Amino acid sequence: MTATPAALRCDFAPTDPAAPPRCFVLVPCAGAGSRAGTAQPKQYQLVAGQPMVMHTLAALAAVRRVAGGLVVLSPGDDFAWPQGPSWPTRFERVPCGGSTRAQSVFNGLKALQVRGLRPTDWVLVHDAARCLITPALVDSLIDACLPDACGGLLALPLPDTLKSERGRRVQATVPREDKWLAQTPQMFRLGDLHAALAATAASAFAGVTDEASAIEMAGQHPLLVAGSAHNFKVTYPQDFALAQAILVMRAQT
């Protein structure tokens, strides 16, 4: 992969230790997206005229309180990335992706540490395939988490009746009153999240399905912040058409 041009690199210079913690973004972008049915990793699939991940990054770059961030790529990625003015200048691409999402995030956190971030700085981890995230949603997460002792995540209360099954037959109806659908970004302090993931690294991150689950395994209780039904993760072939329609609608308003 071609190195990121110097003009596009972020300034991660350490701040005064007494300064308030800053917010940084980490976007794992190393997955294959096998369920999407695309010829290339789904994050590079064109949606509304751009690779899907570029819509994601444009929204994150519009959040004024985000000081910068890293996009974690697979070391073998050789896809053509937009250059010049179309690239969000506060984000740097780093080819340190792992075989799993948890490994990619863990590697990305280590890359942030190398760049001088403090343990108290906040990291917002966001899925590359959640291309309908908005700056307003990210701001609402930051507002809720900055004064919190733990951090939290965007999520939605489960709207539908939930069933458990066995052999493709309903076994029980599961109460939904306290059930939420986890989304991203998920916002935690760099030191806390790195320590939580490091504690599971020897077991290949067993049980870690997202950043919040790692924090939970460390004994903390992340804050749930209301997200949006539009902030879904593009996963299946039919999801691309819906994401395209929403992006086109937004561009026309």
- Please report the pLDDT score of residue 90 as a whole number: 82
Is the pLDDT confidence value at 4 over 60? no
Q: Are 74 and 43 in contact (CB under 8 A)?
A: no
Residue 67 is predicted with a pLDDT of 94
Q: What is the pLDDT of residue 11?
A: 64
Every domain of the chain and the residues it spans: 21-252
- 52 with 234: CB under 8 angstroms? yes
Between the alpha carbon of residue 162 and those of residues 100, 103, 187, 210, the distances in Å are: 28, 31, 27, 21
Residue range 15-29: mean pLDDT, rounded: 90
Q: In this predicted model, what pLDDT tens digit does every residue of 222-250 receive, in sequence order?
A: 999 999 999 999 999 899 999 999 999 99
d(CA 51, CA 218): 36
pTM of the model: 0.91
Average pLDDT of the residues in 45-57: 92
Q: How far is residue 165 from each of residues 26, 45, 162, 168, 176, measured CA to CA in Å?
A: 36, 34, 10, 6, 15
Model pLDDT, residue 7: 37
What is the CATH T-level fold of the domain 21-252, as seen in this structure?
Answer: Spore Coat Polysaccharide Biosynthesis Protein SpsA; Chain A (3.90.550)
Tell me which amino acid residue 35 is.
Answer: R
Q: What mean pLDDT, rounded, does the chain reach?
A: 90
The dihedral sign for the CA sequence 145, 149, 151, 152: negative
Q: What is the pLDDT of residue 128?
A: 94
Task: For 150-174, write each residue's pLDDT tens digit.
Answer: 999 999 999 999 999 999 999 999 9
Q: What tokens does 189 get?
A: 């302090």
pLDDT tops 80 at residue 38: no
Residue 40: predicted pLDDT: 78
